[in-house]
Amino acid sequence: MGNSKAKIFIFGKDNICWSIDKDREVIAYFLKKNDLKITNNIFEATHIFCVWYNLLFHPKYLWMQLLRKILHFKIIVVITNDITFCPEKLKALSKYVDIFIAPSKKIYGFLKEKKLRVYKIPFFVDPKIFKPLYFSQEEICKRLNLNWERLENKIVIGSFQRDSLGKDLSQSKWQKNPDLLIEVLENLPKGKFTLLLAGPRRHYIINKCLEKNVDFLFYGNYSYIQNKKDDILSNNLPLEKVNYLYNLTNIYIVTSKSEGGPKSILESALTETLIFSTNVGLASDILHPDLIFDENNVGELIEKIYRFVENFQCFERYIEYNYQKALKEMNENLLKEKYKRVILENS
């Protein structure tokens, strides 16, 4: 089945400890657990493992296609977003990419239909980091140096995904669809709910909250928002702090139009945080069907939020369902075998 002489060159990094860097660490971790050799010399590589497929379209990396013809290495790419929205990119990739990694059943099925060689491996979220904490919300606020009085007696709705364009922070990322989250909050009773925001590039949604008089609390260095400066290097939080924020949250809401993940679905599930999501990425792989809502039917979501407020216990079985699903998907032994198959079945 295998070839112990495989040497893997991992391609792709952003050097800011952002999503790409974390995904790179995960790939290296599981390859090493299989005793597979990772090389820093592309000229001796048998496999190129591309962390983010979009990198291959950057002009400075076009040499990769030529080098493949000379050195005959195999190219593996991770499909990090919903590539069904980018048929022209998939067509270009299929000409020289040997193996595709799909993070969800939805993308896996789509690539299978295109007769491409594909493996389903979800994004990894570490259950040792993202887990339930048995502290009160007040205690968590103390540990995070957050003003507890701002959240006391409120239903806390969490959102920790970036929503603004890097090249123009006043504009939203259409994929994240933050306007839908604002619409939801506008239709909830004033004084009962607070939107807890964290992470870099939240400029758009914060400005919308101010414009629409939506109550919010931002965890991070707010001066970057006030000065309209990019905070990608300063408000990118340690994962342990993000875990605290999930444990402070009553309801997490994903309103995206297009996603590969998002990882927040796994993070919410593992922290036993109730989550509602549009049917994007791996939502249907992890979440109970009753927690997936139609972006064109905000009333349905608002009705479920009211039900939670009236009787949160009726959602406990959904939270347990999500938790067990996520825990199974994040099983390290299972993931180790999946990465092993990718290399050994293609050597």
- The structure tokens listed for 149 are 């009085």
Mean pLDDT of 63-75: 92
Do the beta carbons of residue 52 and residue 11 sit within 8 Å?
Answer: no
Mean pLDDT of 167-190: 94
Under the banding of pLDDT at 50, 70 and 90, the label for residue 58 is: confident
Backbone dihedral region for residue 25 (phi beyond 0: left; psi -120 to 50: alpha; all else: beta): alpha
Residue 270 CA, chain-centre distance (Å), reads 13
137-329: CATH, from 3.40.50.2000, 3.40.50.720, 3.30.70.60, 3.40.309.10:
3.40.50.2000
Distances (CA, A) of 343 to 21, 23, 55, 92, 340: 21, 17, 21, 23, 6
Question: 9 forms bridges with which residues in the sheet?
Answer: 48
- Is-same-fold flag (7-124+331-344; 137-329)? yes
Under the banding of pLDDT at 50, 70 and 90, the label for residue 60 is: confident
Task: Please report the pLDDT score of residue 4 as a whole number.
Answer: 66
The beta strands (E) that lie in the chain are given as: 7-11, 37-38, 47-50, 74-78, 99-102, 118-120, 155-159, 193-198, 216-219, 251-254, 274-278, 292-293
Residue at token pair 């069904």? 84
The tens digit of pLDDT for each residue in 107-151 reads 999 999 999 999 999 999 999 999 999 999 999 999 999 999 999
Global confidence as pTM: 0.94
Terminal Cα-to-Cα distance of the chain (whole angstroms): 8
Residue spans per domain, the chain: 7-124+331-344, 137-329
Under CATH, which architecture does the 7-124+331-344 domain have? 3-Layer(aba) Sandwich (3.40)
C-alpha span between 177 and 179 (Å, rounded): 6
Closest CA to 331 of 21, 30, 28: 30
Task: Please report the pLDDT score of residue 64 as a whole number.
Answer: 87
C-alpha span between 92 and 239 (Å, rounded): 35
Distances (CA, A) of 250 to 24, 66, 168: 31, 51, 31
Strand duo 37-38 + 7-11: pairing: parallel
Task: Please report the pLDDT score of residue 1 as a whole number.
Answer: 44
C-alpha span between 123 and 120 (Å, rounded): 10
* Phi, psi dihedral angles at 44 (to 5 degrees): -105, 5
